[in-house]
Amino acid sequence: MKIDRRSFLGLGLGAAAGVTLSPMPWKLTDDSSIWSQNWPWTPVPNDGEITFEDTICTLCPGNCGISVKKVDGRAIKIEGKKGYPVNDGGICLHGISGLQYLYDPSRVQFPMVKSGDTWKQVSWDEAVALVAGKVKELRQKGMAESLACVSATDKGSVAGLYKRLLTSVGSQNFYTLETMEKSWEMLISRIHGLKAFASFDLANSDYVISFGAGFIEGWGSPVTNFIANSSRKERKAKLVQVEYRLSNTAASADTWLPAKPGTEADLALGICSAIISGNLYNAEFIKNAKDFEAFAKFVNEKYAPELVSRTTGIDASKIKAVASEFAKAKSPLAIAGRGKGESAGSLMEFAAVHALNCLTGNINKAGGFWTVERQDTLTWSSLEMDDSATKSYAKSPIGAVDSLVSGVSGSADAGVFSSVVSAVSNQVVTSASLTKLFEVINASEKSPVELLMVYNANPCFTLHNTKAVKAAVNKIPFVVSFSSYMDDTAQLADVILPSHTFLEMSQDIQSGASLAQNITAFSKPVAGPVFDTKHPGDAVIAIAKAVEGTVASSFPWENYQECLESIIGDSFATLSEEGYIASEFTPPAAPIVVDFSIFAGFKGITPLEGEAKSYPLTLMPIDTIRLASATFASSPFAVKTVEDTVLLENDTVIEINPETADKVGVSDGDYALITTPVGEAKVRVNLFDGIMPDVVAIPEGLGHTISGIGQVLRKDGTALTGKKGATSIITVTGGTSKNIGPLENRYIGGKGVNVNDLIGSVVDPASGLDAAWGIRARISKA
């Protein structure tokens, strides 16, 4: 057939018509849309049988009961456990995000040893042998005291095992973090002569004055406090919040007293004065108190409401009104303690606040302040120490500080107070201070610590003046991290023995902070292990065994499980069956003593670092429940909820009053340079009416470093690559890896600045703890 133009066109048109009328285009259209509904890169979760398993969340000291929902054995959701005494079904956003911690590909996936910039995978046996080898070496050299360990707390059997390892080797250098719990404990021992921790029955108190405690920012046991706070409406209970800023707690309070930061103790004493001069105190309770007359004279002379009104900025009439309401309430409660960083806080602030509780006598009663004896539910078998260990153990801890109050009562103002009180032991307590430890290391030419173990703590992020802390850690020849994550401290370690996450391990739990009940709980593994991690207890036991000798024989258990069963003893069966044992507090049999002599020489709380002339503003760290500031780094979910007035792209956003902004010449959204005596940072500005002029608030929980992670090589020599989404692929240019590693958590890492880069530590002479509660600062437009 001859193809001319005509037939060509005809054919073409015919073909087009044919194709159009055939089912083909329709089928293709349909198929392509079906394909778009089943894109292979959009995951399709597998279905299966639904089950629930209960355990305890240990992301924060709240220790809520949680139910893990599983599908076909796969953990898919965390919910609050109904009926659990801490949280009764409620749960905070971090707990719900637990699975993001579990399945996080930026976890430390196997034991690794650092050489240069590179991490190399080793087997658990090799890792344990390496650490044990170092310990043995130190023992042989008679330098066992140069072994140190940092752990968040000393509560529970896992921390107990670490402490036991140190003791059996011959070191007293076991450090815990400095928290408000410690301050309360010291205060209770000083004022009441008891060895107990503080608890607060918020849920039953009808009138609470809180001096900055952020009940809904995450203070104490967060969910317990949320529940107590929201039941206020029904209970007709009042909350008075003393805070320089309209925090969420202040906003939810019935009365907000914006006292100038640092004058909270003054305000507390002002209220004491009003109560005393109005004869509103509980005379019956106070009648045997030591030095009450002196205290009364002292506050009436120096802290009368009119005087206090000048320093705090709160009207005298308001102070008197609050004093009268407080004193007349059925179960009034005064609370101190901002739980941040070194905010073990100024002990004298705690004392001033607690004086209010003493005046009402609402102590060890429903709705009141409780002194709770530490329940030692664990019975450890005695451990063996050979000569070398005994000799080393005799040496006092590195960075030991003298704490408590003896120095104070001898001071010039002590005149009106009697000197020593019989019921209360006023001896000097010497203890190991973590802050001091790092100071000592930095001050020594050669680090007195040869080997540092870090368990369940991230001091390079959470301690004040992180630059100094990091310098100290870098000076320590051998650092062992037990972290599950490449956190700020693990990045500086020489070897990492990664622990299970809380969802992968069993452990005993003592609920503490601000709970009006004793709860011992037992958490059990509900998932994983996802990676080649180990139970931290098993890791210690393995190390101890490898150290051999009396150290090994002090750890007679096959594994952690066996250890736990033996040290928990009788209650193990109940615990593993019921999950927890709760008991109401019982008041101590003996009447409680009160000693006011602590106020001799009271000169206010620890001052801010920096002089007002060059640093006219006060910088205060603030917390939002949505950012985990101590307990882990925040999860992707949590970071997602953070407002853009806190974190904007990679910048921390500070909060200032519009008036302050005018003064320093910045406007909303501007970049600003913030400078303190310790450091400086570029941040962005958010104007907020609810913050006091001349104060700068900066959010906690940001500024996790990820830049120091380096390369990770598997045993077979292949590089661990960054995971899609979570982390970026290592790019090797010219043979050297860029500073982008595979274990970077890009969801929180590298975002914003760490407050603790800007704040230095200030040792409280009364407690020996780091009491810095802010710092002086200036800002300028950047």
Partner 1 sequence: MTQDNHGKAYKFGMVIDLDKCTGCGSCMVACMSENNVPFKEDETNKKDSITWMKVFKLTNGKPFPDTDICYMPRPCMHCGGKGDHGHSPCVSVCPATATDYGYDTGIVSQIYTRCFGCRYCMGACPYHARYFNWWDPKWPDGMEEYLSPSVSPRMRGVVEKCSFCYHRYQAARDRAYHEERRDNIEEGEYQTACTQACPAGAITFGDLNNPEHEVSKLVKPDTHQCGKPRNPKAFRLLERLQTNPKVYYISEREWVRKAGDNYRDGEWEKSK
Partner 2 sequence: MDSALIPKGAKRCPFPVFATGIAVVGAVLLWGVYAMGLCWLKGLNQTNMNDYYGFALWIWADLAVIAIGGGAFFTGLLKYVFGIDELKNIINLAVVIGFICYSSALLILAIDIGQPLRGWFIFWHANVHSMLTEVAFCLSLYFSVLTIEFIPLILENRQIDKVPFFHNLSHNMHSVMAVFAATGAFLSCFHQGSLGGVAGVLYGRPFAYREGLLVWPWTFFLFTWSAAAYGPCFTLTVTKLFEGITRKKLVKDNVVHILAKISGWMITTYIIAKIIDTIYWAFVTAPDMGFSLIDFYSNNSFYGIWILFAEIVLGGIVPAVILTVKKYRENNKLLLVAILLGVFGVCLNRWVMVLQVMAVPVMSFDTWALYVPSWQEIATTILPVAYGVILISLAYRYLPVFPQEQELYDAK
Ligand X SMILES: Nc1nc2c(c(=O)[nH]1)N[C@H]1C(S)=C(S)[C@@H](COP(=O)(O)OP(=O)(O)OC[C@H]3O[C@@H](n4cnc5c(=O)[nH]c(N)nc54)[C@H](O)[C@@H]3O)O[C@H]1N2
Q: Which of residues 25-84 bind ligand SF4 (CB under 6 A)?
A: 57, 59-60, 62-64
N- to C-terminal Cα distance for the chain?
A: 81
Q: Minimum CB separation from ligand SF4 for residue 220, in Å? A: 10
Binding mask 605-634 for partner 1 (x = CB under 8 A): --------------------xx--------
Work out the burial of residue 471: count CB atoms within 10 Å of its CB; fewer than 13 is exposed, 13-18 middle, 19 or more buried. Answer: middle
Pick the closest to residue 218 from 244, 247, 238 (CA basis): 247
The pair of three-digit structure tokens given for residue 68, joined into one six-digit string:
């893990």
Cα torsion through 610, 614, 616, 617, rounded to 10: -60
Amino acid sitting at position 79: E
The amino acid at residue 588 is P
Q: What H or E segment, with its residue span, contains residue 332?
A: strand 332-336
- Count of residues in contact with Mo ion, rule CB under 5 A: 2
The smaller minimum CB distance to ligand SF4, of residues 468 and 625, is found at 625
Q: Which two tokens stand for residue 353?
A: 């606040």
Residue 634 Cβ, how far from partner 2 at the closest point, in Å?
A: 23
Binding positions for Mo ion, 318-347, rule CB under 5 A: 339
32 or 317: CB nearest partner 2:
32
Largest separation between any pair of C-alpha atoms in the chain: 126
CA atoms within 13 A on the CB side of 167: 13
Q: Which is nearer to ligand SF4, 224 or 273 (CB)?
A: 224
Q: Is 689 in the site for partner 1 (CB under 8 A)?
A: yes
Of 179-187, 341-349, 433-441, 535-543: span binding Mo ion (CB under 5 A): 179-187
Least Å distance, CB 74 to partner 1, is: 6
Residue 32 interacts, among partner 2, ligand X, ligand SF4, none and using kind-specific CB cut-offs from 5 to 8 Å, with partner 2
The answer to whether 519 and 584 are in contact (CB under 8 A) is: no
Shortest Cβ distance from residue 9 to partner 2 (Å)? 8
Q: How far apart (Å, rounded) are the C-alpha atoms in residues 127 and 521?
A: 31
Of the pair 533, 550, the CB lying nearest ligand X is at: 533
Nearer to partner 2, 39 or 284 (CB): 39
Residue nearest to Mo ion (CB): 179
**Cβ–Cβ under 8 Å, residues 614 and 778:** yes
How near is the Cβ of 76 to partner 2 at its closest, in Å?
Answer: 27
- Could you tell which of ligand X, partner 1, partner 2, none binds residue 61, using a CB distance below 5 to 8 A set by kind? ligand X
* Contact positions with partner 1 (CB under 8 A) in 690-749: 690-693, 723-727, 746-747
Is 32 an interacting residue with respect to partner 2 (CB under 8 A)? yes
* DSSP class per residue in 747-763: TTTT-S--GGGT----B
- Contact mark string toward partner 1, 56..85, x via CB under 8 A: ---------------x--xxxxxxx-----
> What does the per-residue mask of binding to ligand X show for 163-192, with x meaning CB under 6 A?
--------------x-x-------------
Q: CB 644 → partner 1: shortest distance, Å?
A: 5
Q: How far is the CB of 683 from partner 1 (least distance, A)?
A: 14
CB 383 within 8 A of CB 544: no
Among 61, 368, 397, 399, binds ligand X (CB under 6 A): 61
Q: Report the C-alpha dihedral over residues 245, 512, 608, 413, rounded to 10 degrees.
A: 120
Which of 350, 322, 351 minimizes the C-alpha distance to 207? Answer: 322
Give me the least distance between CB of 333 and partner 2, in Å please: 35
When CB distances are held under 5 to 8 angstroms depending on the partner's kind, the choice from partner 1, partner 2, ligand SF4, none that residue 60 binds is ligand SF4
382: how many CB neighbours lie within 10 A of its CB?
6
- Closest C-alpha among 523, 703, 756, 627 to residue 222: 627
Residue 152 contacts which entry, partner 2, ligand SF4, ligand X, none (Cβ below 5-8 A, type-dependent): ligand X
Site for ligand SF4 in 80-119 (CB under 6 A): 87, 91-92, 94-95
Per CB under 8 A, 643 contacts partner 1? yes
CA distance 197 to 371: 6
And the tokens for 147?
Answer: 């072994």
Please, which of residues 255-294 interact with ligand SF4 by CB under 6 A?
Answer: none
Query: How distant, in Å, are the alpha carbons of 456, 538, 561 from that of 157?
Result: 13, 12, 11
* Residue 6 binding partner per list Mo ion, partner 2, ligand X, none, with a CB distance cut-off of 5 to 8 Å that depends on partner kind: partner 2
Task: Return left, alpha or beta for 710; rule: phi > 0 is left, psi -120 to 50 is alpha, else beta.
Answer: left
Judged by CB, which is closer to Mo ion: 343, or 550? 343
Q: Which of 80, 193, 305, 337 binds ligand X (CB under 6 A)?
A: 337
29 binds partner 2 (CB under 8 A): yes
Interstrand relation of 238-242 and 255-257 (parallel, antiparallel or unpaired): parallel
| Binding piece for ligand X, criterion CB under 6 A, among 42-50, 205-213, 295-303, 369-377 | 205-213
- State which of residues 87, 146, 388, 756 lies at the interface with partner 1 (CB under 8 A): 87
Q: What is the DSSP letter of 378?
A: -
Contact between 422 and 160 (Cβ < 8 Å): no
From CA 418, how far away is CA 434, in angstroms rounded?
34
Q: 7 vs 375, which CB is nearer to partner 2?
A: 7
- Helix-then-strand count for the chain, H and E: 27, 31
Please give the structure tokens belonging to residue 473.
């850690």
Q: Which two tokens stand for residue 330?
A: 């059925």
Binding to ligand X (CB under 6 A): which residues in 652-691? none
Residue nearest to ligand SF4 (CB): 95
- Return the amino acid letter for 567: I
> Could you give the residue ranges of the DSSP H alpha helices within 369-433?
387-393, 406-409
Q: Does 445 bind partner 1 (CB under 8 A)?
A: no
632 binds, among partner 1, ligand X, Mo ion, none (CB under 5 to 8 A by kind): ligand X
The span from the CA of 552 to the CA of 544, in Å, is 5
Q: Per DSSP, what are the bridge partners of residue 455?
A: 151
Residue 22 DSSP class: S
Two tokens at 644?
């853009």
Contacts of residue 441, Cβ cutoff 8 Å, sequence gap at least 6: 398, 447, 448, 449, 472, 475, 476
User: Judged by CB under 6 A, which of 193, 214, 222, 512 binds ligand SF4?
Assistant: 222
Backbone angles phi, psi at 377, to 5 degrees: -80, -10
- Please report, as residue ranges, which positions from 130 to 169 form the binding site for partner 1 (by CB under 8 A): none
Distance of CA 558 to the CA centre of its chain: 32
By CB under 6 A, name the one of 214, 448, 601, 710 that touches ligand X: 214
C-alpha–C-alpha distance, residues 288 and 293, integer Å: 11
Within residues 35-74, the interface with partner 2 by CB under 8 A covers 35-37
Q: Which of 6, 287, 613, 724 binds partner 2 (CB under 8 A)?
A: 6
Size of the site for partner 1 (CB under 8 A): 81
* 681 token code pair: 């940072």
Q: Where are the alpha helices (DSSP H) in 336-488?
A: 347-360, 387-393, 406-409, 434-443, 459-462, 466-475
Measured from the CB atom, the residue of 253 and 307 that comes closer to partner 1 is 253
Question: Which one of 109, 157, 179, 635 is in contact with Mo ion (CB under 5 A)?
Answer: 179
Judging by DSSP bridges, how do beta strands 711-713 and 118-121 pair with one another?
parallel
Q: Give yes or no for a contact between 418 and 597, defined as CB atoms under 8 angstroms apart.
A: yes
Stretch near partner 1 under the rule CB under 8 A, chosen from 115-123, 197-205, 228-236, 472-480: 228-236
To ligand X, the closest distance from the beta carbon of 214 in angstroms equals 3
Interface with ligand X, residue 625, by CB under 6 A: yes
User: Could you list the residues that contact Mo ion (CB under 5 A)?
Assistant: 179, 339
User: Could you list the residues that contact partner 2 (CB under 8 A)?
Assistant: 5-6, 9, 29, 32-33, 35-37
User: Could you list the residues that contact ligand X (CB under 6 A)?
Assistant: 58, 60-61, 94, 152, 177, 179, 211-214, 217-219, 222, 242-243, 245, 247, 261-262, 264, 337-341, 456-459, 461-462, 482-485, 487, 499, 501-502, 536, 620, 622-623, 625, 628-632, 700, 755-756, 773-774
